[in-house]
Structure 1
Amino acid sequence: MTVKQKWYIKIVAVVFIAIVGAYYTTKLRSGGRRAAAFISLNYRWGMGDTLQNSYDSKTGEYIFLDQSDRKIRESFKLRTNNVIFLHSKINQEDLLNIPDTIANAGANLKDPKVLRYEFEFVYDDTVKNIIYLTSYDKDPLIAAKASTLQKTVQQVISEAEERFAKR
C-alpha cells in the first residue's frame, strides 16, 4: 500500500467517525425528553366520544369511574420521583417516538366499542399529543410501544394515588 492510499484511508476513517459522532449527538439531543423540561401530563381514557376517566398533573385532579360506574374524584400531584421514573421509562423504551394517532386506517376515533387513550405531554418547548385506540393492529411494534406508554403512565398515577390514600 502506498503512502497516498494510507492517507486516503485515514481521511475516510476520520470523516466516518465525525459523521457517526454527529449523528448520535443529534439523536441524543432531540430524541430524549428531559424530566426537567416537563410541565404537565394530561391523560384521559374511555370509550366513545366522552372520555370519563382523566388525570391532569397540573391541577392534580383525578376522575375515574369505579366498578359500579360511580364517578370518583380525587386530587393528588405527581412527585419529582414519579416524573423522573416516567421519563426514564419513556426514554429507555423510546415511547414518545410513535405517531400522534395510533388507529387503523378509516377507524372511527370515537367508536363506542373501542377503548381509547389520549395523552398530552407538555414540555418547556413542545407538546406531544397521542391518541391510541386499543383496536390498532397494523404495526405490532407501535402497538406495543403505545401499550407500554399507557401502562407506564397508569402505573405512575396509581403509585401517586396510593401515596395519597395513605395520608
Structure 2
Amino acid sequence: MIKNAPYKFVEFEYIVLKSGENGRYTQTYNSKTQDYEYLDAQDSLVHKKVKLGKDDLLFLHRKAAELGFWDWPTNMVSDKTGKAPKYYLEYVYERKTKVIELDAAYNENPKLKDAAIQLIKTVEKTITESEARYRIGEKSK
C-alpha cells in the first residue's frame, strides 16, 4: 500500500510551513532553501538557516502518511475574524504537491483538526531539534 502511494519519498523535494496570528504569518520555514524566519520575544525578525537531514524528512513523510495527510481537504479555515492562529503546510514532490491551510477555529471535524495540529507540531519540533543540533555542532568546533 505504501509502495503504491501517490506520494513517494523517493520523489520528495521539500516542506514549507507557515504559522501566525492576526492575518499574518510570523513563522516560516522552507526545507529547500533552509530559510527559517520567526518573530522573537522582542518582536524582532530572526532569520536562520536550518537544514533538515534526510532522516528528518523521511520521518516527516512517514508521519504524514501515518496520519492520512494525503486525504485531508486543502481548506480547513473557519475563522472569519482573522485572529485565530493559522497554519499553512505544504509537502512538495516531483509530480504532486499537497497543501493544507488550517486555523485554530476549525471545528467541522475535531479528529481531523487534531491530526493536522499533530502533524504541524511534529514538523515544528523537527525544525527546532535540527536547529538545536546545529547550535551544539557549532559550539563543539
State the TM-score, normalizing by the size of structure 2: 0.87
In structure 1, stretches of 5+ residues that fail to align are 1-24
Contact residue 44 and residue 54 of structure 1 kept, 8 A: yes
Counterparts of 1:42-81 in structure 2, within 5 Å, are: 42-81=16-55
**Going by fraction, where is helix more abundant, 1 or 2?**
1
Identical aligned pairs, as a percentage? 26
Contact kept, 8 Å, 1:98 with 1:145, in 2: the verdict is: no
Aligned residues between the structures: 137
> What does the per-residue CA deviation read over 1:26-72, in whole Å, with 9 as the maximum and x for residues that have no partner?
x86235x3222110111111013321210011110100111222211
Measure the CA separation in 1 of the matches of 2:87 and 2:56: 20
CA-to-aligned-CA distance 1:123-144 (integer Å, 9 cap, x gap) = 0110111101011112111111
Q: Any stretches of 5+ residues in structure 2 without a counterpart?
A: none
**TM-score, normalised relative to structure 1:** 0.75
* C-alpha distance in 2 between matches for 1:164 and 1:96: 31
- List structure 1 runs of 4+ shifted beyond 3 angstroms: none
Q: Which amino acid in structure 1 is aligned with residue 115 of structure 2? A: K
Distance 1:148 1:103, change over 3 A: same
Distance apart, 1:147 and its partner CA? 0.8
CA distance in 2: counterparts of 1:95 and 1:138, whole angstroms: 17
Determine which structure has greater relative contact order: mean sequence separation of CA pairs < 8 Å that are 6+ residues apart, divided by chain length.
2
Amino acid in the other structure paired with 1:48: N
Counterpart of 1:129? 99
Match of 1:84 in 2: 58
- Write the distance in 2 (CA, Å) between the matches of 1:97 and 1:153: 18
Letter in 2 for 1:37: E
Distance in structure 2 (CA, Å) of the matches to 1:147 and 1:137:
12
SS, match of residue 148 in structure 1: helix
